[in-house]
Structure 1
Amino acid sequence: MRGVADSLMMHSWLVLGLVAAVAGYDYTTVPGLNHDTWWGPEGKEEDTSIRPFQIKWEKAMIDDLVYRLENRRKFVPSMDDTAYHYGVNTHTIGYWLDYWARDYNFTAREAYVNKHPQFITNMQGLDVHFVRIVPEVPEGKRKIPLLLLHGFPGSFLEFHEAIDHLIAGVADKDFVFEIVAPSLIGFGYSDYTNKQGLGGAEMAVIFKKLMNRLGHDKFFVQGGDWGAHIADIMVVFFQEEIIGMHTNLGMALTDKAFSMITMGSLYPAALMPNDLTGRLYPLKDTLQWLMREFGYFHFQATKPDTIGICVTDTPSGMFAWFAQLISMASRRANYDDPRGGLDLYTPSS
């Protein structure tokens, strides 16, 4: 049966690939885009002021969270000897939930998330939260603005430890970075919209305008995951403003790229160095992994309201949803790890 399932997954990917190839998508023309779409409540005006902001966790919120964690319903036991093949193993989740409820230092964590200066400003009707650090520039050095865009499941905290190094500069370089790290729209402390149509392209416009509002006509951008998607769009849309981009999710989704990847399966070394071919080939393994692990992406893209109810109403459900994504995105070997590779992380991390 497993061989049949593998065959079906391969055929599904082949069909999807053929459909994409014959569709003739235009990857080169920049689409028309309204740069002034109002995404906020009607009747509200855009407040262009930049307001200081601090994260505050009220005692009532913490008490409610702890109550929900400690009074969670008993989980249905996962099947024997399945480790993390079917997602988070329910035999392992109790440790983390108990730690969260009983030992998590909310006071220390609140201080940590407020480590860097934060602000709020309104962009096209939505309050956008961001970290901004303007370093003192030593003599002989210049200041370069850098926009940092996080991904999912993540937040601006992805950059907390790196920021100190970025603003410190390097002795043999003539520049230091000014940091702007926003919460993506609908993430963390940035507003969400109730209007349809706000995707990566629309966020690219908002964050370009945010940098302009902060006084930057030209800047660098770095993105990971969803942030990488937005950064890719910014580079195409705003070629005069973006000095350069760094990404930790480099992807090419064009017909040419798909064709090269497919032909490369015949002789991988012709496409990439020998020591890297194992990251993509055998192509069958890569496609099976994508088919197996990207169900969450399809679900969130097509039924966000449903999963939103699940992860918002129960902290146990939210933890499980995020933990399985962290597990599968770290190492494929985590399937066979009884604890899903999560022991790599200490509770304080």
Structure 2
Amino acid sequence: MGLLWKANLVVIGIIAALCHRFYINYFSSVDLPNFNYNEYWGKGDENFYKEDTSIKQFKIVFEDKVINDLKQQLNRDIEFLPSYEDHPSFQYGFNAAKLKDIIKYWRDDYIPRYKERQDFFNQFQHFTTQIQGLKIHFFHEKVPEIYKKSKKVYPILILHGWPGSVREFYELVLIFKKFNRENKDYAFEVVVPSLPGFGWSEAASKSGMGPAHIAIVLRNLMLRLGYEKFYVQGGDWGSVIGSALATIFKENIYGYHSNLCTFGTTKANLKLTIAKLFPKYFFEEDFYDFYPSILENLPTLIEETGYFHLQATKPDTIGIALSHNPFGLAAYILEKFSTGTNMLFKNLPDGGLTKHFTMDALIDNLMVYYLTNSIQSSVRIYAEAMTDKYRALDLDRVISDAPYGCASFQHDIGHSFDWQIKDKYPNLKHHTYYRNIGHFAALQAPEVLFKDIIEFAQKTLEIS
């Protein structure tokens, strides 16, 4: 064998080894990492902690002190710099004239009715319990005992994200309650928690609490409620946490339904590139536009993800700036409800905010953050999910055989197609597409989301 031939074999061997290494590092599935299912996140020394496992009834209270402070803040005579004359829209961010209208409504209409809004929040049964050092808040709509005699009952855990809250799901839960009364065969017991650091759930006092660690807390919550097996539904961070639940605890999951089905692995991005070259083989023809290429989507990503970069790197800076600041809180959060519902709404002087949402619903959501002063702790989830240690978990590459369902809403921030999804969830049972609905689907179109959840349940449990 000649020297040149031997050299070629060495080069081929090196290339093969590099390709194999590249495949292992970026394309192959990985094993589930180890987690501490009782990791302590509370204040002080864990050695002095004894968990109170009782479940306590809880009432949401708009405390007079906080309301009076809010009134004083909203009564401040602040002059905002007007929007450009040639751009009286949301293209530069929140429109100052619209913010004045919102502040006026909040001060003159909403606040005088705050007892009514407090009653609205308390229409469901709220509870708190202590898990892994944190007080966790949730509301829980059980099926009346009289129905349990004739119906199969399934628990479902419904998860919000940022800048949402449990308020997103009130209309959806009312639809569940109506369904439970009318359906003859089965019903759902609904559990809606405030994520740790959001609303009335206590924030972690130790760093490192990423979405998977929140999933562990919520699985422990469901076990405490007596649910060994349950459905999960989530959008936004709720979809990331829901996916972690379906990955780490697939034995506890009847099925996982998401309305934000995105997978950003190297393999998923390569598949998108291939699929864009031969779209008819991978996408339903009516929904080609749901899947822009990476290059097509790049300008939007650059323009619309500035908040993500800030919250993923300096969450406490923006959190402190917005704390006890209703003007900043309204502008910062409601701008996301505008573009998150439809990117084109940024071209409107009112941001299209009340095209799909009532002003009361939008301010209810603001009140969750203001009453609990949780904006700073809520945005920390971005930083915790972006650490090197958390990203090294690589949960999107851990295969889960939990039944999976996806509802893709046109104006959401991203979508994955079946060829991508099946790398993570080979037991894909359900994938539907809906136009003219955006990121906050539970609040914008609760009937549509509910119908999709039920269709998924019927496919996973073979019930009718």
Distance 2:65 2:263 in 1: 47
User: Which of residues 109, 119, 133 is equivalent to 2:127?
Assistant: 119
Asked if residue 99 in structure 1 is aligned to residue 80 in structure 2, the reply is no
Distance 1:287 1:295 in 2: 13
Asked if residue 290 in structure 1 is aligned to residue 301 in structure 2, the reply is yes
Q: Is the 8 A contact 1:39 1:194 kept in 2?
A: yes
- Structure 1 pair 130/284, CA: closer, same or farther in 2 (3 Å)? same
Q: Which residue of 2 aligns with 1:135?
A: 143
Distance 1:267 1:66 in 2: 58
Distance 1:62 1:252 in 2: 42
Shift in Å at residue 138 of structure 1? 5.1
| Comparing 189-198 and 169-178, the one that deviates more | 169-178
**1:271-296 alpha-carbon deviations (Å, 9 max, x no partner):** 21121111223654422212211111
Distance 1:21 1:106 in 2: 57
- Structure 1 pair 255/282, CA: closer, same or farther in 2 (3 Å)? closer
Distance 1:202 1:73 in 2: 41
User: Which of residues 9, 24, 27 is equivalent to 2:26?
Assistant: 24
Distance 1:108 1:146 in 2: 28
Distance 1:21 1:249 in 2: 27
Shift in Å at residue 235 of structure 1? 0.4
The secondary structure found in structure 1 opposite 2:128 is: strand
Distance 2:90 2:160 in 1: 26
Provide structure 2 residue ranges, at least 5 long, that are not aligned to the other structure: 1-21, 362-464
The secondary structure found in structure 2 opposite 1:131 is: strand
CA RMSD of aligned residues (A): 2.0
Aligned positions, number: 330
Q: Is the 8 A contact 2:150 2:184 kept in 1?
A: no
- Given residue 64 of structure 1, which amino acid in structure 2 is its aligned partner? D
| Comparing 223-232 and 64-73, the one that deviates more | 64-73
Q: Which residue of 2 aligns with 1:53?
A: 58
Shift in Å at residue 60 of structure 1? 1.9
Q: Is the 8 A contact 2:27 2:267 kept in 1?
A: no
Q: Is the 8 A contact 2:322 2:328 kept in 1?
A: yes
Distance 2:253 2:230 in 1: 5
Q: Is the 8 A contact 2:40 2:133 kept in 1?
A: yes
User: Which of residues 177, 186, 189 is equivalent to 1:178?
Assistant: 189
Shift in Å at residue 172 of structure 1? 5.8
Asked if residue 153 in structure 1 is aligned to residue 155 in structure 2, the reply is no
Max Rg structure: 2
Distance 1:79 1:61 in 2: 35
Asked if residue 36 in structure 1 is aligned to residue 41 in structure 2, the reply is no
Q: Is the 8 A contact 1:144 1:177 kept in 2?
A: yes
- Given residue 143 of structure 2, which amino acid in structure 1 is its aligned partner? P
User: Which of residues 327, 333, 346 is equivalent to 1:322?
Assistant: 333
Distance 1:259 1:312 in 2: 41
Shift in Å at residue 26 of structure 1? 6.5
User: Which of residues 307, 313, 327 is equivalent to 1:302?
Assistant: 313
Shift in Å at residue 326 of structure 1? 0.8
Distance 1:75 1:22 in 2: 54
The secondary structure found in structure 2 opposite 1:122 is: strand
Distance 1:28 1:173 in 2: 43
The secondary structure found in structure 2 opposite 1:234 is: helix
Distance 1:327 1:121 in 2: 34
What are the within-5 Å matches in structure 2 for residues 66-85 of structure 1? 66-82=71-87, 83-85=89-91
The secondary structure found in structure 1 opposite 2:308 is: helix
Asked if residue 165 in structure 1 is aligned to residue 165 in structure 2, the reply is no
The secondary structure found in structure 2 opposite 1:316 is: helix
The secondary structure found in structure 2 opposite 1:206 is: helix
- Structure 1 pair 27/203, CA: closer, same or farther in 2 (3 Å)? farther
Distance 1:21 1:265 in 2: 22
The secondary structure found in structure 2 opposite 1:309 is: helix
Distance 2:333 2:235 in 1: 17
The secondary structure found in structure 1 opposite 2:277 is: coil
Shift in Å at residue 123 of structure 1? 0.4
Q: Which residue of 2 aligns with 1:259?
A: 270
Distance 2:23 2:61 in 1: 50
Q: Which residue of 2 aligns with 1:195?
A: 206
Q: Is the 8 A contact 1:21 1:255 kept in 2?
A: no
Q: Is the 8 A contact 1:66 1:101 kept in 2?
A: yes
Q: Is the 8 A contact 1:201 1:233 kept in 2?
A: yes
Asked if residue 346 in structure 1 is aligned to residue 348 in structure 2, the reply is no
Distance 1:273 1:285 in 2: 19
| Comparing 229-238 and 271-280, the one that deviates more | 271-280
- Structure 1 pair 195/31, CA: closer, same or farther in 2 (3 Å)? same
What's the TM-score once normalised by structure 1's chain length?
0.89
Distance 2:214 2:292 in 1: 34
- Given residue 332 of structure 2, which amino acid in structure 1 is its aligned partner? W
The secondary structure found in structure 1 opposite 2:155 is: strand
| Comparing 289-298 and 167-176, the one that deviates more | 167-176
| Comparing 79-88 and 54-63, the one that deviates more | 79-88
The secondary structure found in structure 2 opposite 1:167 is: helix
